[in-house]
Amino acid sequence: MAEETKHAARRGPLNGILVLDLTHALSGPYCTMLLAEMGARVIKIERPPHGDSARAFPPMVDGQPEFYNTFNHSKESLAADLESPEDRPLIEAILRKADVLVENFRPGTLERWGLGWEAVQAINPALVYASISGFGQTGPDHWEGAYDVVIQAESGLMNVTGFADGPPVLTGTSLADYLSGTNAFAAINAALVQSKTSGEGSRVDIAMLDSLLGILGMHIFEYLANGTEPHRMGNGNPNIIPFDIFEAQDGPLAICAPDETSFARLAKILGHDDWLDDERFCTLAKRIANRDALLAAIGQAVCKKSRAELTESLQKAGIPAGSVRTVSQAIESAQSHARRMVLEIEGTRMRIPGHPMHISSLDGDLKRPRAAILGEDSEALREEFLG
């Protein structure tokens, strides 16, 4: 069949893996996009007549939705209603051949439709069944729905983001969505190894809340170790200094010198070897205790130099540093393009973000097919799976 030939040509470590994609919005589609990028064949099921709500999200380029194309290119689209008895034979036919199912409905939804873990495992015992939700499939809050902003609030992340004299702040991107999608991608690949070696399927349960709780880092360390309630510190780090943003002649600059060796090198570059003998700054513990004084001293030295001059001298000395760029400066940088972080949608002027997973078995093609129109592949899939 034409479809089989088309997908046999896919490159990547997941070539030959069939994914049934029941996801919508961002966290689930991001996960299944990564699976497709790794070579898997992804069949996305959407309920007619509108399909995934993300199809309507702006901006539009040449009549195509940028958001939807970013997370749904390289997938096939099957228009089907998961609740409809008429569509059930096709869905079950795909399930019997699928390696992975991914969904991000509110917990309990697929169970009500007869497509929960137990029901699907009876159809295909080797299937990896992955669920992404706000609070997970267990616990007293498991039934609650969530979007990224709700999880950033509930996780405590929002409460430690922003400056001490300001309100809690949402991060500049949908961190809970992206991170839970990435965690699901990783767990699915681990479960696939077991499925392919033992024939035993797995239930993958990824919560957006867990994904953020697991990365709170220094904030949660302080609480678990000492019972200390973390607070907002702007751009600083409670246990490392200098680890902050400083204003150079031509704009803000990030500088990180967390240990004694790097601090000594920073002091020398800034012309302040005297800091090493200063009782306030001679150890990390003392630098933390005298945070405001040290930040002021570094600020006075940094403001006399350009960002380019400082970044080069600091990096050559082994001290991580870099300019605070705008989004356009970052995405259009030579480094971003060299890393294939800007892709193109074929047949349009649309450019989309790349993904960070570079593997030698993947080619360097910068073009991706446009996202399928709702139901574009329905007839071909009916013929392939139902004959």
List the catalytic residues. 177
DSSP string, 125-187: TT-EEEEEESS-SSSTTTT----HHHHHHHTSTGGGSS-TTS-----SS-HHHHHHHHHHHHH
Report how far residue 219's alpha carbon sits from residue 230's, in angstroms, rounded to the nearest whole number: 5
Alpha-carbon span 272 to 298, nearest angstrom: 9
Token code pair at residue 293 = 């004084």
The DSSP bridge partners found for residue 43 are 20, 76
241: Cβ contacts below 8 Å, ≥ 6 apart: 258, 284, 287, 288, 291, 294, 295
For 290, counting Cβ atoms within 10 Å of its Cβ (0-12 exposed, 13-18 middle, 19+ buried), the class is middle
Output b/e per residue, 191-212; b: 16+ Cβ within 10 A: bbeebeeeeebbbbbbbbbbbb
Q: Nearest CA to 55 among 42, 65, 40, 45?
A: 65
Residue labelled with tokens 């970044």: 311
